């Protein structure tokens, strides 16, 4: 088991956002966490990455309790996140943004760094073409590519993707999910939070459905795609 969440509770002040959720991600999987806005998906990702403290419950990575580790310590263990809303450094170039993904590595300027740049540019040729362009002047789709590329520069074992399709045109959404599938085939485990249930569940080995801070369904991605309740709530099929 690569990642395991046990009875996780998270509060924002007096407001309880997560109500004792549990989920698992095995090494080599793509796991999708779907749900509507406000369901608690982003809070879950923030708790995993260390940006939001757990009230109670545990987060285990390779069997080790990481619930109290700082975010940078989790990155060093192999957890890297492409956050919701992209979060690039708008005044930095593509190369400078990607370089920021190396900050926690033991070899930030080592030989592997060149290999990682080439990997990112192979996955996202547009970034290679625009390596000297300032991130804030790029389109939404290009910024999303840059966010994922920056996360990959940390050489993660677990890649956390928070709403990678947000605000993108349908053609770009398919492209982003094709790349997520390719990243997984290269050996990176992926946990993706999405409102686009069709794309995420069709690519996922397993999935979880979240409603108001609670996991209400789980199963194989293909099974959830044909589940009547999931189809009615998230796929626009009655």
Q: CA 51 to CA 43: how far, in whole Å? A: 9
- 140 assigned to some structural domain: yes
Instruction: Determine the pLDDT at residue 109.
Output: 62
- 165 assigned to some structural domain: no
Helix (H, G, I), strand (E, B) or coil at 238: coil
- 7 assigned to some structural domain: no
Q: 196 burial class (0-12, 13-18, 19+ CB within 10 angstroms)?
A: buried
State the Rg of the chain over Cα: 17
Instruction: Determine the pLDDT at residue 238.
Output: 46
CA angle 175, 177, 179 (to 5 degrees): 70
Q: Which helix (H) or strand (E) holds 218?
A: strand 214-220
- 147 assigned to some structural domain: yes
Task: Point out which residues pair with 159 in neighbouring strands.
Answer: 80, 190
- 114 assigned to some structural domain: yes
Nearest to 144 by CA among 129, 170, 163: 163
- 105 assigned to some structural domain: yes
- 50 assigned to some structural domain: no
Nearest to 32 by CA among 226, 198, 174: 198
Q: Which helix (H) or strand (E) holds 79?
A: strand 79-82
Distance (Å) of CA 74 to CA 48, 68, 71, 77: 9, 10, 5, 5
Q: Each residue's pLDDT tens digit in the chain (238 positions)?
A: 999 999 999 999 999 999 999 999 999 999 999 999 899 999 999 999 999 999 999 999 999 999 999 999 999 999 999 988 778 999 999 999 999 998 877 765 667 888 999 999 999 999 999 999 999 999 999 999 999 999 999 999 999 999 999 888 898 999 999 999 999 999 999 999 998 899 999 999 999 999 999 999 999 999 999 999 999 988 765 4
Domain that holds residue 130: 88-154
Q: What is the pTM of this model?
A: 0.94
pLDDT digits (tens, 9 = 90+) for 66-105: 999 999 999 999 999 998 877 899 999 999 999 999 887 7
The domain tally of the chain equals 1
- 148 assigned to some structural domain: yes
């Amino acid at each position: 088991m690569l990642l395991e969440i046990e009875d996780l509770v998270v509060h924002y002040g007096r407001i309880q956002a997560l109500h004792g959720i549990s989920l698992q991600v095995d090494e080599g999987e793509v796991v999708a966490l779907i749900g509507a806005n406000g369901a608690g998906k982003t809070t879950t990702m923030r708790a995993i990455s260390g940006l939001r403290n757990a009230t109670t419950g545990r987060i285990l990575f390779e069997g080790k309790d990481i619930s109290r580790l700082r975010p940078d310590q989790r990155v060093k263990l192999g957890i890297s996140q492409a956050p919701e809303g992209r979060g690039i450094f708008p005044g930095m170039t593509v190369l400078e943004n990607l370089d920021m993904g190396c900050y926690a590595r033991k070899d930030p300027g080592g030989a592997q760094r060149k290999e990682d740049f080439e990997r990112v540019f192979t996955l996202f040729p547009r970034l290679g073409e625009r390596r000297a362009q300032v991130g804030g002047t790029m389109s939404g789709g290009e910024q999303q590519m840059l966010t994922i590329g920056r996360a990959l520069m940390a050489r993660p074992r677990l890649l956390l993707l928070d709403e990678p399709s947000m605000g993108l045109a349908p053609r770009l959404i398919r492209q982003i999910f094709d790349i997520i599938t390719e990243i997984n085939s290269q050996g990176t485990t992926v946990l993706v939070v999405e409102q686009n249930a069709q794309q995420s569940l069709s690519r996922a080995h397993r999935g979880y459905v979240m409603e108001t801070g609670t996991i209400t369904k789980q199963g194989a991605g293909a099974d959830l795609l044909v589940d009547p309740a999931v189809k009615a709530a998230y796929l626009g099929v009655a």
